[in-house]
Chains A and B, each alone.
Chain A
Amino acid sequence: MSELLISRHGRVLHLALNRPQARNALNNALLTQLAEALEAAAADPEVSACVISGGQRFFAAGADLNEMAEKDLPATFDDIRPRLWARIDAFPKPLIAAVNGYALGAGCELALLCDLVVAGDNARFGVPEITLGIMPGAGGTQRLIRCVGKALASRMVLSGEAIDARRAQQAGLVSDIYPPALTDEYALKLAATIARHSPLALRAAKQALRQSQEVGLQAGLQQERQLFTLLSATEDRREGIDAFLQKRTPQFKGR
């Protein structure tokens, strides 16, 4: 059985982490598979959005500690993991994390890297690295503080304590909460709703949202306007507006 289960639902790609014996710990092999699957999906015009999920009881419970323990300073300096994370982060289409149970350490960082997180009401998010004498190393200190604010981010990073789904939703880490038995299903439904929209508009909108984390407001507004202008040159834009005015469902072509 593969450690990453890949399935297609219309225009939605579903990637399910499947290392239950290791609570879906994200070792290099699994991260590599994730990166490869996402790169293939990025190039596939039939895929518009992607959902990453884990099991009912855990999304991913961290990195692989055995792998990490072997690395001394020079080896950590040369670690391949930052490049793997960068490849995953480069996925240009909407990426949704469907989180049931534990999303800890690297698992939490993977969820934070996604555009959207929906969660089962049993979900728990945390960065317990500090309890191991290390710290988050794949965005846990950067993306977390940008989405939940200083108070909660500092509390989580410095204490190592996890928060539940409700708190994560209040803080802005999670958009929707569902019963765990339905989380994947609703995530796929949400992805299907997203995937009905113009692929070019989705990419442009995602890029604009991402840039809001990178640049100041004025530069962000400028880039937003450029992306907006770019879309005006697409067939899909004409189709979208025509379909709306004619009260019919648009047929987007990705052009």
Chain B
Amino acid sequence: MVEAFILSTVEQGVMTITLNRPDRLNSFNDLMHQQLAECLTQAERDDSVRCLLITGAGRGFCAGQDLNDRNVDPSGPAPDLGLSVERFYNPLVRRLAALPKPVIAAVNGVAAGAGATLALGCDIVLAARSASFVMAFSRLGLVPDCGGSWFLPRVAGRARAMGLALLGEKLSAEQAAQWGMIWQLVEDAELADTSLQLARHLAAQPTFGLGLIKQALLAAETNGLDAQLDLERDYQRMAGRSADYREGVSAFLAKRPPQFSGK
């Protein structure tokens, strides 16, 4: 019997992925990475999945890499940490970014190291009032991975990103919300309901169009205005051909609520 380090359910268009190693604050080991990758494959292939909701089991969201799993031996030869970054974290971040569906992180508790950068890299981040983000990397002599060094300056601005990454101090969810690093701060008891409600709402929206919006905003992080204008033209051309655009216009003209198929 293989342990289920990732729990996943699909309901009403929402795939809920629960990081499930509560006794280790849901920190990543190789098997957990593999199970998460399988869920992502399903999310990519299954058209009935129209929104992804990631959360943690127990009191934490995710404590990043499980150091016990890296066979840390202070007297042994230097480990190749690039290996797990290349094998697990980078594909994870790339796949979440490329997924043409919204990805919500419901940060239910402490998010540290790769757990924090994973959460902050999701499309919409909700955090419980008691949750916190810790850029723990610097305290071990490491560098923010799992997209951290790219996402942090973009969600927090360079000054705050530098402070957070270099000092490695705990950032409260409240402060993260004040700084505009996350979408919404929610009372602890309401996080599960609020995030699921939001996910179900998004899962009923024009998914194809939402996917294009997501890709456009990500592309804007590296494009110049000129290239971005071209991209807007191309994406609008594609969006205009979607079934949901037709449905949206017909519903508007007929003064009825639209029924989006996601196509």
- Which residues on A are within 8 Å of B, measured CB to CB? 178-179, 181-182
| Chain B residue at minimum C-beta to C-beta distance from A185 | B237
| Chain B residues in 8 Å Cβ range of A182 | 234, 237-238
CA distance A179 to B234 in the complex (A): 7
Q: List the 6 shortest-distance A-B pairs measured between CB atoms, nearest first.
A: A179-B234, A181-B238, A182-B234, A179-B238, A178-B234, A182-B237
8 A-B pairs in the complex with CB atoms less than 8 angstroms apart: A178-B234, A179-B234, A179-B235, A179-B238, A181-B238, A182-B234, A182-B237, A182-B238
Residue of B nearest to A176 (CB): B230
B234 / chain A contacts, CB cutoff of 8 Å: 178-179, 182
Alpha-carbon separation in the docked complex, A181 to B234 (Å)? 9
Residue of A nearest to B230 (CB): A178
Task: Return chain B residues, CB-CB under 8 Å to A179.
Answer: 234-235, 238
Q: How many residues of B contact A (CB 8 A)?
A: 4
- What is the CB-to-nearest-CB distance from B218 to chain A, in angstroms, rounded to a whole number? 12
Chain A neighbourhood of B238, CB < 8 A: 179, 181-182
CB nearest to B233 among chain A residues = A182
Known: A181-B238, A182-B237, A182-B238. 5 other contacts (CB 8 A): A178-B234, A179-B234, A179-B235, A179-B238, A182-B234
- In the bound complex, what is the Cα–Cα distance between A181 and B236 (angstroms)? 12
A178 CA to B237 CA, complexed, in Å = 12
B141 to chain A, nearest CB (A): 32
A179's nearest neighbour on chain B, judged by CB, is: B234
Chain A residues, Cβ within 8 Å of B237: 182
Chain B 236-250 interface mask (CB, 8 Å, partner A; 1/0): 011000000000000
Expressed in whole angstroms, the minimum distance between the Cβ of B20 and any Cβ of chain A is: 33
Task: Note all chain B residues with C-beta closer than 8 A to A181.
Answer: 238
| Shortest beta-carbon distance from B85 to chain A in Å | 19
A57 to chain B, nearest CB (A): 14
In the complex, what's the smallest C-beta–C-beta distance from B108 to chain A, in angstroms? 36
For the complex formed, measure the closest distance between the CB of A78 and the CB atoms of chain B, giving whole angstroms. 46
Q: Shortest beta-carbon distance, A35 to chain B, in Å?
A: 34
Separation in Å of the B247 CB from the closest CB of chain A? Answer: 19
Q: In whole angstroms, how far apart are the Cα atoms of A72 and B238 in the complex?
A: 49
Docked complex Cα distance between A182 and B237 (Å): 9
In B84-142, which residues have CB < 8 Å from any A CB? Answer: none
What is the CA–CA distance of A181 and B235 in the complex, to the nearest angstrom? 10
Q: How far is the CB of A164 from chain B (nearest CB, A)?
A: 12
Q: How far is the CA of A182 from the CA of B235 in the complex (A)?
A: 9
Considering the complex, give the chain A residue whose CB is closest to the CB of B227.
A177
In whole angstroms, how far apart are the Cα atoms of A207 and B205 in the complex? Answer: 53
Q: Which residues of A contact B235 (CB under 8 A)?
A: 179
CA distance A178 to B234 in the complex (A): 8
B211 to chain A, nearest CB (A): 12
Instruction: Select from chain A the residue with minimum beta-carbon distance to B219.
Output: A121
Closest to B241 in A: A181
Within 8 A of A (CB), among B137-177: none
**Distance between Cα atoms of A121 and B235 in the complex (Å):** 13
A207, B238: Cα distance in complex, Å: 37
Q: How far is the CB of A100 from chain B (nearest CB, A)?
A: 14
C-alpha spacing A181/B238, complex, angstroms: 8
Tell me the bound Cα distance from A52 to B104 in angstroms: 41
CB distance from B232 to the nearest CB of A (A): 11
**Chain B nearest CB, measured from A124 CB (Å):** 15
Q: How far is the CB of B239 from chain A (nearest CB, A)?
A: 11
A50 to B: closest C-beta gap in Å: 24
A78 vs B235: C-alpha distance when bound (angstroms)? 49
The residue on B at minimum CB distance from A178 is: B234
A178 CA to B235 CA in the complex, in Å? 10
